[in-house]
Amino acid sequence: MEEHIVIIGNGISGVTAARHIRKLSDKKITIVSAETEYFFSRTALMYVYMGHMKFEHTQPYENWFWKKNKIHLKKGFVKQIETKSKTLHFAEGDTLEYDKLIIATGSKPNKFGWPGENLKGVMGMYHKQDLENLETYAPNNKVCKRAVVVGGGLIGIELAEMLHSRHIPVTFLVRESSFWNGVLPEAESAIINREIMANGIDLRLSTNLKEIISDENEQVKSVIIEETGEEIPCNVVGLTAGVSPNIDFIKDSEIKTGRGVKVNRYLETNIPDVYAIGDCAEQQEGINQRRPIEAVWYTGRMMGETLAQTICGNRIQYNPGHWFNSAKFFDIEYQTYGWVWAQPKANEARFYWEHADGNKCIHINYNKNTREFIGINTFGIRMRHEFFDKMLNEKQSVDYVLEHLADANFDPEFYKQYERNIVLKFNKENNTNIQLKKKSWRRIFA
């Protein structure tokens, strides 16, 4: 009898693990999820509400895929894990036994005990059910005359954009003094502030939510601002103040948890044959300056790829490469490679270039002593992942990176290119004489 691998969670991490285990072995695989029958891309939820896609378009695999690859799907909510007998107990009453268990239950939206946070019309934006909720309470600007979004992160700005696409007026409460400035340096953060306001969003920086007021039907009527006491009437409140691991049902099992499920570098928990990956996994300590919990798509996928090896007999550590990420803030695309902290560290120097239109910029971080390139933020200009991964692997200097910046450009053909201006500015500010090289396919594919 082949070993039975049970995966709780059909998100990117669980599904990636399942796909790779299938490639490597003939083990019996079951994926359990309470949310949807089939894997869908959470990152695309916004596009369904905005009418760019239908929900079915967010499903990366056709429905026959699972059967063909002998990956069993089970819909159900796991309410308890009994590690001694290796049994899952479902809210629906049935049970399932496993030989190896992978916990990939993702995140849930944070709630901070605000008064009124459980009213009708108050919602996070994480699960498919949140989307359905939004469709009920904010189908258009007649039903929802104003929405308040609380929390200035990536999901908050997406929710603001979603509501805006249906012409619903949005007030956006951001605790920080500038959007996402815990992650973005001041200049980039300012660009996004401008972009938010240019789209007619009522952006309130340094503003906290105090409470949510109910009408007579247990439905949102307004919110009260902490700082000013101002009452803002609204029909929908989006709570997007971050996410945390979705592991309440594990808390009273033998599996050790902190904020997330505690794992070692092999993604193993304290209990043999139980693993955790994706948003819900918490490393003992951050790897290579990463955070112990990394709630992003890519890391979920990488953990899935890695754990499949371990499960199939090639026990290896989770060892992610250079950090990268991307997002889109309304119409401004953002990519980042390596590290560009909000505040430079002692040994770091920065180079910043911004286009006159105020919608494009790059920000480079490098070691001011060794000149080693550390990372780049790019807004409104697409750049090649492979290029920067290589620069970081080879520990190239900032001068080398700039000299070859034309190789990095990934914008569509015929787009205006700015490398020349960028290098010019760098030379001027740093008294260097870097000559931009012409793009070379040989180098790009070397």
Partner 1 sequence: MNVLKQLGLALFIIGIGIFTGSIFTGNFSLTEAELNEFLASKNYKSELIKDELKKATVTKENLNIFEFSSRVRNAYKTSNNYYDALIAKYDAEKNWDKKGEQYQYKIYGKPHTLSYEIAKKAGSGFVKENSGLLWWLTFGLSIIGALLFIIPNLVLLGRPGIKNNGIYHKASTNRGGIAWVVFVYLVVFYLLLYFMPDYIVNWTYILDPISIFLNGGPASQWFVYGFLYCTVMVVMAVRMYIKYRHNKYQIIRTTSVLFFQIVFAFLIPEIMTSLNMPGYDFKNAFPLDYDFFFEWNLDNLRNRGAIGLFILVWGTILTLIIVPVMVYFFGKRWYCSWVCGCGGLAETLGDPYRQHSDKSLNAWKLERWLVHGVLLFSLVMTLVTLYCYFSGAEAFLGIKSQWIKDTYSFLIGAWFAGVIGTGFYPIFGNRVWCRFGCPLAAYLGLVQRFKSRFRITTNGGQCISCGNCSTYCEMGIDVRSYAQKGENIIRASCVGCGICSAVCPRGVLKLENGPETGRINPNDILLGNDVDLMDLVNQK
- The entry of ligand FAD, partner 1, none near residue 155 (CB within 5 to 8 angstroms by kind) is ligand FAD
Q: Which residues pair with 90 in a beta bridge?
A: 78
Residue 239 engages ligand FAD in binding (rule: CB under 6 A)? no
Stretch that binds ligand FAD, among 4-12, 139-147, 198-206, 417-425 (CB under 6 A): 4-12
Determine, following the binding rule CB under 6 A, whether residue 151 of this chain makes contact with ligand FAD. no
Contact assessment for residue 58 and residue 40, using Cβ atoms and an 8 Å cutoff: yes
Footprint on residues 26-45 left by ligand FAD (CB under 6 A): 32-35, 42-43, 45
Site string for ligand FAD, 60-89 (x = CB under 6 A): -----------------xx-----------
Distance CA 176, CA 189 (A): 11
Question: What dihedral do alpha carbons 431, 432, 433, 439 form, nearest 10°?
Answer: -130
Question: What is the spatial distance between Cα 308 and Cα 30, in angstroms, rounded to a whole number?
Answer: 14
Among ligand FAD, partner 1, none, residue 88 binds (CB under 5-8 Å by kind):
none
User: How many CB atoms lie under 10 A from the CB of residue 124?
Assistant: 23
- Partner touching 259 among ligand FAD, partner 1, none, CB below 5 to 8 Å by kind: none
Of residues 9, 156, 338, 380, which one binds ligand FAD by CB under 6 A? Answer: 9
* Distance separating alpha carbons of residues 117 and 123, to the nearest angstrom: 8
CA distance 157 to 144: 18
Spatial contact of 338 and 314, defined as CB atoms under 8 Å apart: no
Residue entry with tokens 């105090």 = 210
Q: How many CB atoms lie within 10 A of CB 177?
A: 12
* Distance of closest approach, residue 90 Cβ to partner 1, in angstroms: 28
368 contact choice in partner 1, ligand FAD, none (CB below 5 to 8 Å, kind-dependent): none
Q: Name, in order, each residue with C-beta under 8 angstroms of 394's C-beta and a sequence gap of 6 or more.
A: none
165 binds, among ligand FAD, partner 1, none (CB under 5 to 8 A by kind): partner 1
* 116 vs 375 by CB, closer to partner 1: 375
Q: Binding to ligand FAD by residue 306, rule CB under 6 A? A: no
Which of ligand FAD, partner 1, none sits in contact with 379, Cβ below 5 to 8 A by type? none
User: Considering the complex, what minimum distance in angstroms separates the CB of residue 180 from ligand FAD?
Assistant: 13
Q: Which residues contact 143 (CB under 8 A, 6 or more apart)?
A: 137, 235
Nearest to 108 by CA among 243, 295, 279, 276: 243
Rounded Cα distance between 82 and 85, Å, is 6
Residue 88 or residue 422: which is nearer to ligand FAD going by CB?
Answer: 88
Q: Is 107 in the site for ligand FAD (CB under 6 A)?
A: yes
Which residues are paired to 30 by β-bridges? 6, 72
327 near ligand FAD (CB under 6 A): yes
Residue 307 touching ligand FAD (CB under 6 A): no
Can you give the C-alpha Rg of the chain in angstroms? 24
Residue 84 or 445 with smaller CB distance to partner 1: 445
77 binds, options partner 1, ligand FAD, none, Cβ within 5 to 8 A by partner type = ligand FAD
Q: What is the DSSP letter of 80?
A: E
Per partner kind, with CB cut-offs from 5 to 8 A, the member of ligand FAD, partner 1, none near residue 10 is: ligand FAD
In the complex, the residues that contact partner 1 under the rule CB under 8 A are 12, 20, 23, 41, 43-44, 47, 50-54, 57-60, 62, 165-166, 198-199, 297-298, 301-302, 305-306, 309, 314, 316-322, 324, 326-328, 330-331, 333, 335, 382-386, 389, 393, 410-416, 441-442, 444-445
From the list ligand FAD, partner 1, none, pick the one residue 321 interacts with, judged by a Cβ distance below 5 to 8 Å according to partner type.
partner 1
Q: Of partner 1, ligand FAD, none, which one does residue 309 interact with (CB within 5 to 8 Å by kind)? A: partner 1
What is the smallest separation between the CB atom of 307 and partner 1, expressed in angstroms? 11
Bridge partners for 4 per DSSP: 28
Query: If you write DSSP's letter for every residue of 287-352 in order, what string do you get?
Result: STT--SS--SHHHHHHHHHHHHHHHTT--------S-EEEEEETTEEEEEEE---SS--TTEEEEE
Which of 246, 253, 336, 377 touches ligand FAD by CB under 6 A?
Answer: 246
Burial class (CB in 10 A: 0-12, 13-18, 19+), 368: middle
> Measured from the CB atom, is 352 or 379 closer to ligand FAD?
379
DSSP-H helix ranges across 74-147: 128-137
Nearest to 265 by CA among 289, 281, 250: 281
- Residue numbers at the binding site for ligand FAD (CB under 6 A): 8-14, 32-35, 42-43, 45-46, 77-78, 104-107, 125-126, 154-155, 158, 246, 249, 278-279, 295-298, 300, 327
